[in-house]
Amino acid sequence: MSEITFEVTPKQQLSMLTRIVVVYGAIGIVYVYLQGFTLKRPFLIIFLVMFSLDILPALIAHIQYWIANKNAILKIDKEHQQLSYATPTGTQVHNFDDIVLLQHFASYGGGSWYSFSEYRYFKITFKDNNEIIVTCLMVADIKDVFELLLNRKAEKKLSAVAFIK
């Protein structure tokens, strides 16, 4: 059987949020160890800046991606060159040949230290003008495997944060 199934899982969501939890958890632990439980104004200012520039964009992207793919199941059948995208409102089935545009949306500095740097998604447009969005919450290592699964190259679009448009 050559069919591969993808869906949003708690494990994949946690893996995407790991950077926030580990980095900012470690900073919090070090701060409490050094300063105790008293909040100093400089720390609070630094935290608010980091929250605004790093944590908040990652959380917004995460929520967008979860909304885009919640309760959806993507099945890719390499043998029959077909994909199926099922949601509670219906199922789309397309041949790979029906794909007219494959776009890969990613953040500048992918793989850098930013909490949102690994958030990315693909938008697939078909001959019948239907579109589906497949995010990194649905497909682990999406940047490395998705083009291989569909056997086609994606047009890469970069932005500061890869929010769904």
120-165: pLDDT as tens digits: 999 999 999 999 999 999 999 999 999 999 999 999 999 999 999 8
As a whole number of angstroms, the distance between CA 139 and CA 152 comes to: 17
Query: pLDDT tens digits, the chain, 165 residues: what are they?
Result: 589 999 999 999 999 999 899 988 898 889 888 888 887 888 889 889 999 999 999 999 999 999 999 999 999 999 999 999 999 999 999 999 999 999 999 998 766 778 999 999 999 999 999 999 999 999 999 999 999 999 999 999 999 999 998
What is the reported pLDDT for 150? 95
Percent of the chain with pLDDT over 90: 75
Q: What is the DSSP string of 30-74?
A: HHHHHHTTPPPHHHHHHHHHHIIIIIHHHHHHHHHHHHHHTT-EE
Give me the residue label for tokens 């994949």: 12
Please state whether the predicted TM-score (pTM) of the whole model is above 0.95. Answer: no
Query: Which tokens go with 3?
Result: 């069919």
CATH class of the structural domain 3-159 = mainly beta
Domain edges within the chain: 3-159
Q: Which residues contact 10 (CB under 8 A, 6 or more apart)?
A: none
As a whole number of angstroms, the distance between CA 160 and CA 123 comes to: 18
The phi and psi torsions of 162 (rounded to 5 degrees) equal: -80, 65
| Three-state secondary-structure class, residue 92 | strand
